[in-house]
Structure formats: structure tokens, C-alpha cells
């Protein structure tokens, strides 16, 4: 069901028969809300979020496509999060949105493709799948990420368990210098912006105050990005103090990309989020 959201943007509201719910905007196929079967909101969404193109919505799950961050020739995180999708199919608990390139996009990304993004909500889970078919006769460069902003009680109370002991990561705050994590937990005491290349397929975000654990499972995505900016003044679309209330855990094809999707090939990846 399509309903009106802020600034004339339309969103689809999904409900699972066992109680979970989610909202997905056509702008960017952007998931802005995910609620568990207890009705608790699990995603951060800024009070100052801008819903109008060409801005991406600050919070929820911006979709980075077909580039992660600055790793390529396109705008930061690619154009999908600033593009208008169409609904291609849907049911009560799931929707598939579709994007094809416009003439305008061809100027910076001269490839024919068909992108499908499917979001399905369960009683305590959210599954998101990206499928892209290269419909041109040339190879198509691709990087991507599900850039999820999880709502937390306070950044002081949480850690991300990256699933392996003492992994190295590329520190985006230090020109992607290779750095070693001590142990398997990321705690936040300053800006943290890291690409874990070849990360395990299951990561956990634990909030020790609320006792909530979010499990992030990834399929087909080699990397994971963990981010908290430790400040909000640098963002026009973040309200004061909001940085303390979220942590991003992002299954990604980042430093392991861009890959080349061959002509006629369909490439896909999935993230499964669950809460306990």
C-alpha cells in the first residue's frame, strides 16, 4: 500500500502477520522504519532528514549503489539513494522496487541495467535483497552497501562484534590505513569509520542497556563497514546530539570492489537483520 510521506514522497508500509512492520520510500528504495513484533522502532531516522531529491534520507537504510563511498568516479555512495524507484510487485509483508537508468544517469554511468530491491518484514526480522542485471554489452563496475543506521540507547552502551578476533580494518579516518582491532568488539569513544575487508557473514550489535541484540547476516557481500561520526555539526541533516543514538553496520562490497558485472549477468546480495 502506497501512502504519502514528508515532502510529497510516497512510501510503502509493510506488515507481517506476526506483528513486525517496515516502511520503504520510493525515493532510493529507502527503508526508513523497521519495528519488531513488540512495536519497538529499530532504525534511527534523523529529525532533520531531507526527503527530497537529490538528498538521501539520513537514517534507515540508504542503498549505496553502484559505488561505495568515494571508491569510484561517481558521487559519494552512488546515485541509487537519490533516484526514484517504481514498485514492481508487492504483498502485505514484502515489496520489490525497480530502477532503470535515465538519460541523465547515462552521462556519468553509461550502462544499461535493471536493479531490483526487495524488502520483506517478518515478526523479528527484515530481509533485503539487491539484484542487478547488466543489460548492456560492456562490463559494468559495481560497488554497493546496505548502509543501515541502527537506533541505540546511547553510543556509550553499545558494541559491534565483528565476528573474528583481532581483524585488520581500513581506517577511513586515516586515509584507509590498515589498523588492527584488539579483540572482536568495536566500542565507540571517538569517530569510528572502518572497512572490514572479508568480514565474517554474521555480525552483532549489542546494546548493553536495553539488552537488545541485532544480528546482521550478509550473503554475497565480502566486506562490512562500521561507522559512527562522533559529532553531528558536520551534517546539515542531523540534529544536535543525534550521533549518540545510532551506529551504522553496513554489509558492503567496498574495499573488495568495484567488481565487473559481465554483460547479461545478474549479480545479487542479501542482508538479513534479526532482533532478540
Q: Which residues are catalytic?
A: 147, 250
Among 71, 132, 225, 273, binds ligand BG6 (CB under 6 A): 225
Q: Least Å distance between CB 61 and ligand BG6?
A: 12
Q: Least Å distance between CB 33 and ligand BG6?
A: 18
Long-range contacts of 162-168 (CB under 8 A, 24+ apart): 162/186, 162/196, 162/199, 162/200, 162/203, 162/224, 162/226, 163/199, 163/200, 163/201, 163/202, 163/203, 163/204, 164/199, 164/200, 167/196, 167/199, 168/197
Q: Among residues 14 and 170, whose Cβ is nearest to ligand BG6?
A: 170
* Binding string, residues 103-142; x marks residues near ligand BG6 by CB under 6 A: ----------------------------------------
Among 18, 76, 202, 266, binds ligand BG6 (CB under 6 A): 76
Binding site for substrate, by residue number, is 58, 76, 81
Q: By CB under 6 A, is residue 69 in contact with ligand BG6?
A: yes
Q: Which residues contact 108 (CB under 8 A, 6 or more apart)?
A: 73, 74, 75, 79
Q: By CB under 6 A, is residue 207 in contact with ligand BG6?
A: no
Among 30, 120, 133, 147, binds ligand BG6 (CB under 6 A): 147
Q: By CB under 6 A, is residue 193 in contact with ligand BG6?
A: yes
Q: By CB under 6 A, is residue 25 in contact with ligand BG6?
A: no
Q: Which stretch binds ligand BG6 (CB under 6 A): 42-50, 69-77, 103-111, 112-120?
A: 69-77
Q: Among residues 159 and 227, whose Cβ is nearest to ligand BG6?
A: 227
Long-range contacts of 236-240 (CB under 8 A, 24+ apart): 236/48, 236/50, 237/46, 237/48, 237/49, 237/50, 237/55, 237/58, 238/46, 238/48, 238/58, 239/46, 239/47, 239/48
Question: Following CA atoms 85, 91, 92, 95 in sequence, which dihedral angle do they give, to the nearest 10 degrees?
Answer: -30
Q: What residue ranges bind ligand BG6 (CB under 6 A)?
A: 56, 69, 76-77, 147, 172, 193, 225, 227, 250
Amino acid at each position: 500500500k502506497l501512502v504519502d510521506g514528508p515532502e510529497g514522497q510516497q512510501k510503502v508500509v509493510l506488515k507481517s502477520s506476526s506483528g513486525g512492520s517496515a516502511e520503504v520510500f520510493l525515493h532510493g528504495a529507502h527503508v526508513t522504519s523497521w519495528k519488531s513484533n513488540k512495536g519497538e522502532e529499530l532504525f534511527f531516522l534523523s529529525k532533520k532528514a531531507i526527503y527530497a531529491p537529490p538528498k538521501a534520507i539520513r537514517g534507515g537504510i540508504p542503498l549505496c549503489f553502484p559505488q561505495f563511498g568515494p571508491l569510484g568516479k561517481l558521487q559519494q555512495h552512488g546515485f541509487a539513494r537519490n533516484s526514484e524507484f517504481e514498485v514492481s510487485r508487492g504483498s502485505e509483508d514484502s515489496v520489490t522496487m525497480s530502477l532503470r537508468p535515465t538519460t541523465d544517469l547515462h552521462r556519468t554511468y553509461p550502462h544499461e541495467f535493471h536493479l531490483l530491491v526487495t524488502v520483506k518484514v517478518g515478526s523479528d526480522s527484515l530481509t533485503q535483497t539487491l539484484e542487478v542485471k547488466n543489460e548492456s554489452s560492456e562490463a559494468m563496475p559495481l560497488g554497493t552497501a546496505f548502509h543501515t543506521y541502527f537506533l541505540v540507547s546511547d553510543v556509550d552502551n553499545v558494541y559491534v562484534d565483528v565476528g573474528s578476533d583481532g581483524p585488520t580494518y581500513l581506517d577511513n579516518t586515516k586515509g584507509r590505513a590498515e589498523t588492527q582491532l584488539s579483540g572482536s568488539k568495536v566500542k565507540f569513544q571517538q569517530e569510528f569509520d572502518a572497512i572490514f575487508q572479508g568480514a565474517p557473514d554474521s555480525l552483532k550489535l549489542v546494546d548493553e542497556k536495553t539488552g537488545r541484540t541485532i544480528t546482521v547476516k550478509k550473503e554475497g557481500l565480502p566486506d562490512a563497514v562500521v561507522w559512527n561520526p562522533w559529532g553531528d555539526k558536520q551534517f546539515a541533516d542531523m540534529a544536535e546530539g543525534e550521533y549518540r543514538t545510532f551506529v551504522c553496520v553496513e554489509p558492503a562490497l567496498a574495499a573488495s570492489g568495484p567488481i565487473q558485472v559481465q554483460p547479461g549477468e545478474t549479480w545479487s546480495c542479501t542482508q538479513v537483520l534479526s532482533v532478540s
